[in-house]
């Protein structure tokens, strides 16, 4: 399992518009490509005067799926994002490979 992680910092005056567009358009378009299992959108807990920061985390089943997404779909989807919010955001992307998952032990009283 891989996690495709996009961190985005959005200027304060565009946050509401950006969040609405991400939830109603962009994330759904990315998921509709069929390369991802799910997406989590989170707000980073920072006190940045320049903008608000968000984490967009997509779960991807394999390197092959991610590579296909990156070559076949990502350029057009990223272009739409850039055209809509140019000059109002910065973003960087990372890929995380899940090595192990841990869960709490069941505790009985």
Whether residue 105 is contained in a domain is answered as: no
For 56, the domain range is 11-97
The pLDDT profile of the chain, 109 residues, written as one tens digit per residue, is 999 999 999 999 999 999 999 999 999 999 999 999 999 999 998 777 889 999 999 999 999 999 999 999 999 999 999 999 999 999 999 999 999 999 999 877 5
Q: Report if residue 1 sits inside a domain.
A: no
Q: Number of structural domains, the chain?
A: 1
* CATH code for the domain of 84: 3.30.70
Decide if 36 contacts 69 (C-beta within 8 A). yes
């Amino acid at each position: 399992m891989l996690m495709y992680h996009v961190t985005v910092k959005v200027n304060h005056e565009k946050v509401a518009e950006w969040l609405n567009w991400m939830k109603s358009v962009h994330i759904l378009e990315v998921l509709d490509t069929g390369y991802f299992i799910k997406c989590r959108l989170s707000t980073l807990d920072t006190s940045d005067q320049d903008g608000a920061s968000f984490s967009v985390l997509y779960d991807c089943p394999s390197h092959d799926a991610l590579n296909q997404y990156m070559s076949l779909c990502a350029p057009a989807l990223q272009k739409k994002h850039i055209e809509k919010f140019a000059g109002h955001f910065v973003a960087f992307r990372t890929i995380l490979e899940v090595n192990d998952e841990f869960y709490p032990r069941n505790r009985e009283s």
